Amino acid sequence: MEYPIQVLSLIDDIFLLLLALTLVAIAIMYVIDVRQTTHAVRRNYPVIGRFRYLFEKLGEFFRQYFFAMDREELPFNRAERSWVYRAAKGEDTTVPFGSTRDLRPAGTVLFVNCPYPTLERDAVEPGPLMYGPYSRQPYENASFFNVSAMSFGAISAPAVRALSSGAKRAGCWLNTGEGGLSPYHLEGGADVLFQIGTARYGVRDHAGHLSDDRLREIAAHEQVRMFEIKLSQGAKPGKGGILPGGKVTEEIARIRFIQVGQDSISPNRHPDVNSTVELLDFVAHVREVTGKPTGFKCVMGTSEWLDELCQEVLKRGIESAPDFITIDSADGGTGAAPMSLIDYMGLPIRESLPLVADTLIRYGLKERIRLIASGKLITPGEVAWALCVGADAVNSARGFMFSLGCIQALQCNRNTCPTGVTTHDPDLQKGLVVMDKAERVYRYATTLRKQVGVIAHSCGVTQPRGLQRHHCRIVQSSGRSLPLDELYPPPPATPPVDTVAAGGR
Ligand X SMILES: Cc1cc2nc3c(=O)[nH]c(=O)nc-3n(C[C@H](O)[C@H](O)[C@H](O)COP(=O)(O)O)c2cc1C
* 243 closest CA partner among 156, 328, 160, 329: 156
Write down the least CB distance from residue 238 to ligand SF4, Å: 23
Helix (H) or strand (E) holding 343: helix 339-344
Of the residues 199, 273, 372, 378, which one makes contact with ligand X according to CB under 6 A: 378
Residue 407 contacts which entry, ligand X, ligand SF4, none (Cβ below 5-8 A, type-dependent): ligand SF4
At 496, which amino acid appears? P
Spatial neighbors of 213 by CB under 8 A, at least 6 apart, are: none
Is residue 58 a contact residue for ligand SF4 (CB under 6 A)? no
Q: How far is the CB of 326 from ligand X (least distance, A)?
A: 8
DSSP string, 466-477: G--GGGEEEE-T
Q: Is-cis flag, bond preceding 46, omega within 30?
A: no
Window 357-376: residues binding ligand X (CB under 6 A): 374-376
Pair 269, 198: CB distance under 8 Å? yes
Identity of the amino acid at 465: R
- Cβ closer to ligand SF4: 51 or 62? 62
The answer to whether residue 499 forms part of the interface with ligand X (CB under 6 A) is no
Which residue, judged by CB position, is nearest to ligand X in the bound state? 177
Residue 415 interacts with ligand SF4 (CB under 6 A): yes or no = no
Q: Is 403 helix (H, G, I), strand (E, B) or coil?
A: helix
User: What letter would DSSP give residue 390?
Assistant: T
Closest separation between CB of residue 138 and ligand X, Å? 23
Q: Of 188, 175, 212, which Cα lies nearest the Cα of 297? A: 175
Of the listed pieces 39-47, 93-101, 211-219, 228-236, which binds ligand X according to CB under 6 A? Answer: 228-236
Which residue, 88 or 497, has its beta carbon nearer to ligand X?
Answer: 88
CB of 233 to ligand X, least distance (A): 4
Of 149, 170, 309, 393, the one binding ligand X by CB under 6 A: 149
Cα 501 to Cα 108, 144, 226, 392, distances in angstroms: 37, 19, 18, 16
Count of residues in contact with ligand SF4, rule CB under 6 A: 13
Determine which residue in the list 79, 407, 487, 493 makes contact with ligand SF4, applying CB under 6 A: 407
Q: Residue 297 interacts with ligand X (CB under 6 A)?
A: yes
Q: Give Cβ neighbours of residue 425 (< 8 Å, ≥ 6 apart).
A: 415, 416
SS3 label, residue 230: strand
With H, G, I as helix, E, B as strand and everything else as coil, classify residue 226: strand
3-class state of residue 346 by DSSP: coil
437 binds, among ligand X, ligand SF4, none (CB under 5 to 8 A by kind): none
Question: Contact between 419 and ligand X (CB under 6 A)?
Answer: no
Q: Which is nearer to ligand X, 46 or 332 (CB)?
A: 332
CB 337 within 8 A of CB 242: yes
**Whose Cβ is closer to ligand SF4: residue 188's or residue 333's?**
333
Sketch the per residue contact string, 310 through 339, with ligand X: x for CB under 6 A, - otherwise. ------------------x---xxxx----
Binding-site ranges for ligand X (CB under 6 A): 148-151, 154-155, 177-178, 195, 230, 233-234, 241, 297, 328, 332-335, 374-376, 378, 396-399, 412, 422
